Amino acid sequence: MNKKAMILIVGFVVVLLLSSNISFAEEEIVYDQIISNVVVSDETDYIISTNTIVSGIIEGNVIVNSGVYLKLDGIINGDLTLEPGSNFIFNGIVVQEVIDNGASTYENNGIIQHFVEELVTGE
């Protein structure tokens, strides 16, 4: 094998290796909490303050804090309130209302009984 052919093959292999490490997908979200059982909130509202996946059931109202991702593959048996800047990927069921106070990301592939978009005013 001559030198030019060897350089061409090595170059081709390098390009393949480099391109396999390039990702054009969305930003990867790291979830800190996974709820896969039944949670009954002792408080008035269950507050989601870290990136969370719900594949179980939350009994009661839920609030998603600003800057937090919630991926719902389960059921919220109550209201869901999305604070300004929160992010919601929805594949599950919200039995009552979803109240959107200015969520940054909202992807709905699930079942919502009632959706309310509230206007947030800077008073």
CA–CA distance, 66 with 31 (Å, rounded to integer): 15
- For residue 48, is pLDDT > 90? yes
Tokens 């109240």 found at? 99
The domain segmentation of the chain, as residue ranges, is: 33-117
The pLDDT of residue 65 is above 90: yes
Cα Rg of the chain, angstroms? 22
Strands annotated E in 1-123: 33-35, 38-48, 52-54, 57-64, 69-72, 75-77, 80-82, 87-90, 93-100, 105-108, 111-117
The confidence score (pLDDT) of residue 50 equals 94
Query: In 3-state terms, what secondary structure has residue 37?
Result: coil
In this prediction, residue 21 has a pLDDT band, given cuts at 50, 70 and 90, of low
pLDDT of residue 18: 60
Determine what percent of the chain is predicted with pLDDT higher than 70.
81
Residue for token digits 């292999």? 13
Q: Cα–Cα distance between 99 and 38 in angstroms, integer?
A: 22
CA distance 26 to 57: 27
